[in-house]
A and B are shown apart, each in its own frame.
Chain A
């Protein structure tokens, strides 16, 4: 504690106002009690009558039980014993837990920094509510394992490709219901996809946000109550599982929506997730209670597991310091996604802890290599020269940024491929470690010392962006580049990037496969270098380098390859070309930080995009 200031100690010294209020309330009650004792009298009769009245039903019940025993004593007794045994088991779970044990009756209050404006998970706006609503109320058809790989079985639905991969069949688990009791069957799922592509037969007033993702779907046919066939609109879509039952496809009920309309659903969502919606006050709080009929147990093998706490409440604190203050004041149990500077005050304390969850996506500098002329100067594009690109890779000490400017929990990335994936260095003598002399030499050799360019950083989403970006800029400048940074509004920059209108290098994150996991069919999509990726410089009409065309060919082929081994080989070959030619400058994987009270236990990690999922959080009794 010696390194802590007076102000730190002052802030952590609490005067327990609640205790004082509690004590005065008890004193007040005591005084009132004493006063009542003094003027009791008539009340005594009432008190005596009350137990007598209560005793009557008890006697009747006893008589009824005796009669029932006479009728079928042996059978009843056996049932009663069985029921008692069940009750005992339940009691074990529901009894007040000992200190350190999981409290299944607890309420978990999470302070979020962002809140959904609508609870309809199928609109673009509603899709932003992963943390506060979607993760709790909704589930997808299929299940991920901890490596974030979709499983053909083990979810609410199992899938298989049939008819030479021209048909995608989903078979649902029997007995699954939505929170309102409506069954999750093939009819409901068909309606869900039709609503997603704005084609459902009812008065639809919302714009299905995932219509583009299911462009691969042709005819949707209900085979039987639990089986759905989806024909391919074109060539077989290898990522059909992801684009029908993956993370973006939270299933909604059919009858409920048809009967109540879109607007009602947007304010009273019904899903089949671990928690059922109770109430919400927009931009204030969302309350949910555990769905006791959830289909999977808490120890299920894959992603879908029953919730732990009884009640889940999300509260909205957009200002980060206010969110942290709410945690300190005991108003919330978790301060969701806070910066490393704010998290610091909760580290090494008795009452709080900081949970660090890695983001598997790699922050990278995307380089404009596909235009022969620099679109800004009109001269030859220096980024076409592999030596310039390599110089940028050797120039940045990303490890130092991780250690000194970030939390230290981030991971220095040497490629856009996940940690644990064999580094595809090909014929190179090693990875791009920090080597400013080598960077300078490469730049001189290319005749590009003093090469001036601008990097666009979309701001506001990535942790510490205004802290680490100046360091990146300075390191590039130190080896001979002249870099200007454009700290752009995230939304505007996103539009420019998505429209392929941003001519200069930009910062973005890419890759979405968990450390060491095999590369799934959708992996190419997450690579920002590829043609067809939303966040890329590449346009089909560009003047591509021959090595890029080879890379793209492999990516395209891998993306259509149903054989997992062959697909992985193709990806590795593509990755090697990508790496040897330094198509991007990978920096590091960021981390997401969550400050919690120290009685919160969290051991699950499934969802890379939304991080901490309160559904899996346990509250330990204190």
Chain B
């Protein structure tokens, strides 16, 4: 690794740390702006004294600055306190859900790339043809249709009317299909569009013409020369889509009763369960920053021009 690359990586890492710090601060402020958790914690008949007692025990009566300082110190140790709802360490509650969301996200991304890349290639190679038209229509719908509606429609047709798949919950391998498709539809459309436009650019390059002139068959031209060079943009998209997938999981997991992180965040926000909201959002942001960092670094490796500093 060149010195330039190493210093770039360090700079990106530091930027990532700054982003996480910013997220931590925003989460702290916003979570306290959404309501008073005592509404949820104290029973209906609790007297004012009892409510104050609970607040004291939880440190909710301390000045905000003090709470923030304590919060930062605890966050560094991944100690987000005890979930108000589950009465267990918040990080434990979050950890239980991460795997479900990651698995669902992987299914969604596999769907997105498995559909998006082939259709993007075909659409570019047969530009203006029927497949191109259908692909563009799919891309338009994929990006325009809200995933909660798509989810309900898929449940209605594939689970209720045709009885192919379960309507919700995590009850086996088949239960990944509907939420996976729903969550993957938006990135699939994005991947398709990116692949198509990137391929179109690449196919007009001189080296493609050269490859054809050398007598390489069309399949070889597309697979060896055009596709590999087009994938750079698609790899970049992967980093962006991880964030999109996590954001989309909030709605999709609710529709499909999927016991993941997105669903947990929604529940915790509704219940003003600070510790879990904070733990979930901060862990999510760390994950997104990390993935983007890896993508950035890998991008440098994939593109020799970046690695060697040649434009």
Contacts and interface: CB of A to CB of B under 8 A. Distances in A.
Interface string A304-343: 0000000000011111011001101111000000000000
Interface string A272-283: 000000000111
Nearest to A205: B87
Contact of B86 (A118, A213, A317, A491): A118
B167 A284 contact: no
A210 to B, nearest CB: 6
A207 B41 CA distance: 9
Given A10-B161, A318-B254, A281 B166 contact: no
B169 A495 contact: no
A18 B163 contact: yes
B188 to A, nearest CB: 22
B143 to A, nearest CB: 23
A534 B50 CA distance: 14
A326 B54 CA distance: 40
Nearest to A534: B44
A211 B161 contact: no
30 contacts: A10-B161, A11-B161, A14-B163, A15-B161, A17-B164, A124-B40, A125-B87, A127-B43, A205-B87, A206-B87, A209-B43, A211-B46, A212-B45, A263-B88, A281-B259, A282-B96, A282-B259, A283-B259, A285-B169, A316-B169, A322-B155, A325-B156, A326-B168, A328-B160, A329-B159, A330-B163, A491-B35, A492-B39, A494-B39, A498-B39
A470 interface: no
A319 B50 contact: no
A581 B229 CA distance: 81
Contact of B257 (A123, A318, A329): A318
A452 B276 CA distance: 42
Contact of A125 (B46, B47, B85, B159): B85
Closest 7 pairs between A and B when the two form their complex, measured CB to CB: A117-B85, A212-B45, A326-B167, A495-B39, A17-B163, A117-B86, A209-B43
B94 to A, nearest CB: 12
Contacts of A263: 87-88
A394 B164 CA distance: 54
Of the four ranges (under 10, 10 to 19, 20 to 34, 35 or more), the interface on chain A belongs to 35 or more
Contacts of B54: 207
A123 to B, nearest CB: 6
A489 B272 CA distance: 12
A377 interface: no
Nearest to A331: B167
Interface string B144-166: 00000000100110011111101
A212 B257 contact: no
Interface string B179-202: 000000000000000000000000
Given A11-B161, A285-B169, A322 B44 contact: no
A285 B83 CA distance: 20
A317 B155 CA distance: 13
Interface of B: 35-36, 38-47, 50, 54, 83-88, 96, 152, 155-156, 159-164, 166-170, 254-257, 259, 263-264, 267, 270-272
B257 A284 contact: yes
A328 B160 CA distance: 6
A16 interface: yes
Contacts of A284: 169-170, 257, 259
A207 B169 CA distance: 31
Interface in A279-295: 281-285
B249 to A, nearest CB: 14
A266 interface: yes
Nearest to A13: B161
A321 B168 contact: no
B263 A283 contact: yes
A212 B50 contact: yes
A123 B170 contact: no
A103 interface: no
A6 to B, nearest CB: 13
A470 to B, nearest CB: 24
Interface in A106-136: 117-118, 120, 123-125, 127
Nearest to B157: A11
Nearest to B37: A491
A321 B150 CA distance: 13
Nearest to A499: B48
Given A124-B40, A495-B36, 17 more contacts: A11-B156, A14-B161, A118-B86, A213-B45, A215-B47, A262-B87, A281-B170, A282-B96, A315-B169, A318-B263, A319-B255, A325-B168, A329-B166, A330-B163, A331-B168, A491-B35, A498-B44
Interface of A: 10-11, 13-18, 117-118, 120, 123-125, 127, 205-207, 209-213, 215, 262-263, 266, 281-285, 315-319, 321-322, 325-326, 328-331, 489, 491-492, 494-495, 498, 534
A13 B168 CA distance: 21
Contact of B160 (A120, A205, A206, A325): A325
Contacts of A322: 152, 155, 167-168, 255-257
A495 B35 contact: yes
Contacts of A10: 161
B3 to A, nearest CB: 50
Contacts of A16: 163
Contacts of B45: 212-213, 534
A212 B47 contact: yes
Nearest to A319: B255
Nearest to A267: B88
A322 B150 CA distance: 12
A15 B163 contact: yes
Contacts of A282: 86, 96, 259
Contacts of A117: 83, 85-86, 267, 271
A545 to B, nearest CB: 25
Contact of B87 (A18, A120, A315, A534): A120
B87 A123 contact: yes
Nearest to B41: A124
Most buried by B among A210, A283, A318, A495: A283
A129 to B, nearest CB: 11
Contacts of A285: 169
Contacts of B255: 319, 322
Contacts of B257: 283-284, 315-319, 322
Nearest to A281: B259
Contacts of B168: 317, 319, 322, 325-326, 331
B153 to A, nearest CB: 10
Most buried by A among B43, B84, B270, B271: B43
B167 A125 contact: no
A17 B271 CA distance: 40
Contacts of A319: 152, 168, 254-255, 257
Contact of A15 (B43, B50, B162): B162
B251 to A, nearest CB: 10
A494 B170 CA distance: 34
Contacts of A318: 254, 257, 263
Contacts of A123: 87
B85 A118 contact: yes
A357 B98 CA distance: 39
A318 B265 CA distance: 14
